[in-house]
Amino acid sequence: MAYTKDDIITLPNPHLRQKSTRVGIITDKIRDIAQNMIDATLSWDASRDHEVGVALAAVQIDSLYRIIVVRNNYDDKEDKSFTVFINPEITKLEGDVLEDYEGCLSVPNIYGKVKRYSKVRVKSLGLDGKPFRVSAEGFLARIFQHEIDHTNGIVFIDHIKDDADAFYKLKQDGKLAKLDYDAVKKDPILWQ
């Protein structure tokens, strides 16, 4: 049975704060997890008018493995193809540190301004077990940093410190509305 958006865990699930395990051997179970991640992302994506599901870490479907999936063309919601990264690691952070909005399927309806490097280099294994490397910049670099953080038990809101203009909510019309910083920082669901 295909996974759906309802299989995506959200805060305060404690697994989101745990480190994921490296994949030793790529088995049918690992391939199934990757497909479940893609299915869940696409299900979430189909339920949203103003958002696109661009990536997911295995922990977000409650599988504590170092696996991420990244949409091949996140500018085209009709392109439903993804690349699977097994044991992804950032080998180099480069460029400027820029602040931009991030959201997360596991932190529903909250966006935040997060500082990230503008360029990254990533090494990984593919589903075929062969190593490969990727250089990314801009939004794609941000995606890799966000998803690899998930494999280390870090959620994007953990990067936000003492910034009154940091948290936002997506309104029905697709625009962001500022949230009260103190109220968000005191929300027990987000900070357990």
Please tell me the distance from the alpha carbon of residue 171 to that of residue 6, in angstroms, as a whole number. Answer: 21
CB atoms within 10 A of CB 118: 17
153: its two tokens: 């038990």
Helix (H, G, I), strand (E, B) or coil at 49: coil
Per-residue pLDDT of the chain in tens (192 residues, 90 and over written 9) = 789 999 999 999 999 999 999 999 999 999 999 999 999 999 999 998 888 999 999 999 999 999 999 999 988 889 999 999 999 999 999 999 999 999 999 998 899 999 999 999 999 999 999 999 999 999 999 999 999 999 999 999 999 887 777 889 888 888 888 888 888 888 877 776
pTM score, two decimals?
Answer: 0.94
> How deeply is 101 buried, as exposed, middle or buried, from its count of CB atoms within 10 A (0-12, 13-18, 19+)?
middle
**What residues are annotated to the active site?**
147
**CA distance linking residue 190 with residue 138, whole number of Å:** 27
DSSP 21: B
Domains of the chain plus CATH, in order, are: 5-185 (3.90.45.10)
Give dist(CA 71, CA 55) in Å, integer. Answer: 6
